[in-house]
Amino acid sequence: METVVSGIRPTGRLHLGNYFGAVVNFVKLQSQYRCFFFIADYHSLTTHPHPSDLHGTVRQVLAEYLACGLDPNQCTLYRQSDVPETAELYLFLNMLAYVGELERSASFKEKVRAQPDNVNAGLLTYPVLMTADIIIHRAHKVPVGKDQIPHLEMARNFAERFNRMYGENFFPLPQPLGTEGEPIKVPGLDGSGKMGKSEGEGNAIFLSDDEATIQRKVMKAVTDAGPTQPHQPKSPPVANLFTLLKLVSSPDTVHHFEQAYNNCTIRYGEMKKQLAADIAAFTAPIRQRIDAFKNDDALLRRVLEEGQKKARASASATLAEVRRLIGFRKF
Ligand code: TRP
């Protein structure tokens, strides 16, 4: 069975865009591949989080992914820093990565722009650590979004360089794993592009938002003046609302509002009320599970201990071979 690895950045709460865009895919993959999913807490140190924030965000994403259906009995779910073999492999790979190629990476340049006062070496070697994450389990496939494709290309380069340098095809060259069919793009509520938490308060609906918050955000969503002719093409903000409706509402509901739009009788207020109610109904059970997991330290500890055991078994087997190939041997 092929091995899949993916990292989860511990950056706050998941929104519907994350859910339909990535999390649903992870949940599907865990029954089809040998999956390793980890919380990338080493990576997050590049931005110098406060120690209690680091712990809090790891708790949050762990609870949220469990609530969405990642099942520690089906996949290996672990915290990156619980597998120190990752750091050792990162050290070895740093000897193969050239400063020039790291400096040329578009994501590095972008981060330099974003945090000019903290251009640390960890930022420069982010793709090296990401490579270590992936090849430590000798992964074949990595489910990532478009933005991570250049990183994955660097991972293939480093893995290939290791193979060439040490004379064996030890590491598979990790390939991106797309979703079946078109990836689902979840629009935000501000009438422009996709849902994202950096697009301003109110654009994203989080899985942990309560019903009142969801309602407030949806009622404020951008629309237009309404159709004046039958079957008028929809403006982007209105098309976005219909896209959201299709994700969470019944086909009958969607049909009802499509028809109302097409014969110009639609009232956006009514549609928003329905959309808010259907989003709330969709996320309520997830939200309840998030709350339950978040407050169950014993369970979170057990999940991470179990994940660590499985991940370290895989990682230490790889490292034993890597050390031997590099030339570290017993007397
Ligand atoms: N860089 C990824 C992101 O920003 C997170 C990540 C870290 C990752 N290590 C990984 C993804 C390994 C896939 C495989 O989302």
What residue ranges define each of the domains in the chain, with the CATH number in brackets? 3-184+297-326 (3.40.50.620), 197-291 (1.10.240.10)
Centre of ligand 1 to C-alpha 327, Å, is: 29
Using most ligand atoms within 8 A of CB, pick from 9, 25, 142 the residue to mutate for ligand 1.
9
Contact 144 CB / ligand 1 (< 6 Å): yes
Q: Which of 141, 146, 194, 220 is catalytic?
A: 194
Strand partners, 77: 37
Contact 133 CB / ligand 1 (< 6 Å): yes
pLDDT band for position 187 (50/70/90)? Answer: very high
Query: In the prediction, which pLDDT does 181 show?
Result: 72
Average confidence score pLDDT of the chain: 96
217 catalytic residue (yes or no): no
Mean pLDDT, residues 242-271 taken together: 97
Indicate the burial class of 235 (C-beta count within 10 angstroms; 0-12, 13-18, 19 or more): middle
**Contact (CB, 8 A) for 268 and 261:** no
Contact 154 CB / ligand 1 (< 6 Å): no
Take residue 53 and report the two structure tokens written for it.
């924030």
Query: In the prediction, which pLDDT does 178 show?
Result: 83
Contact 308 CB / ligand 1 (< 6 Å): no
Centre of ligand 1 to C-alpha 8, Å, is: 6
197 catalytic residue (yes or no): yes
Mean pLDDT, residues 248-270 taken together: 97
Query: In the prediction, which pLDDT does 167 show?
Result: 83
Of ligand 1's listed atoms, the one at least distance from the Cα of 40 is: 7
Strand partners, 142: 176
* 3-8 β-sheet, strand order: 76-79, 34-39, 3-8, 141-142, 175-176
Q: Cα dihedral angle (91, 57, 25, 153), rounded to 10 degrees? A: -30
Name the residue with higher pLDDT: 62 or 12: 62
Strand partners, 4: 35, 141
Judge whether residue 36 has pLDDT over 90: yes
pLDDT band for position 244 (50/70/90)? Answer: very high
Of ligand 1's listed atoms, the one at least distance from the Cα of 129 is: 9
Mean pLDDT, residues 114-137 taken together: 97
Indicate the burial class of 297 (C-beta count within 10 angstroms; 0-12, 13-18, 19 or more): exposed
Q: Which of 77, 49, 57 lies closest to 14 in space, CA to CA? A: 57
309 catalytic residue (yes or no): no
Q: Per-residue pLDDT tens for 137-181? A: 999 999 988 899 999 999 999 999 999 999 889 999 999 998 777
- Across 134-154, b (16+ Cβ under 10 Å) vs e yields bbbbbbbbbbbeeebeebbeb
Contact 35 CB / ligand 1 (< 6 Å): no
Q: Per-residue pLDDT tens for 44-57? A: 999 999 998 999 99
- Across 201-213, b (16+ Cβ under 10 Å) vs e yields ebbbbbbbbeeee
Query: In the prediction, which pLDDT does 200 show?
Result: 77
Q: Per-residue pLDDT tens for 199-243? A: 777 899 999 999 999 999 999 999 999 999 999 999 999 999 999
Judge whether residue 195 has pLDDT over 90: yes
**Contact (CB, 8 A) for 81 and 41:** yes
Q: Distance between CA atoms of 26 and 257, rounded to whole angstroms?
A: 32
Query: In the prediction, which pLDDT does 292 show?
Result: 98
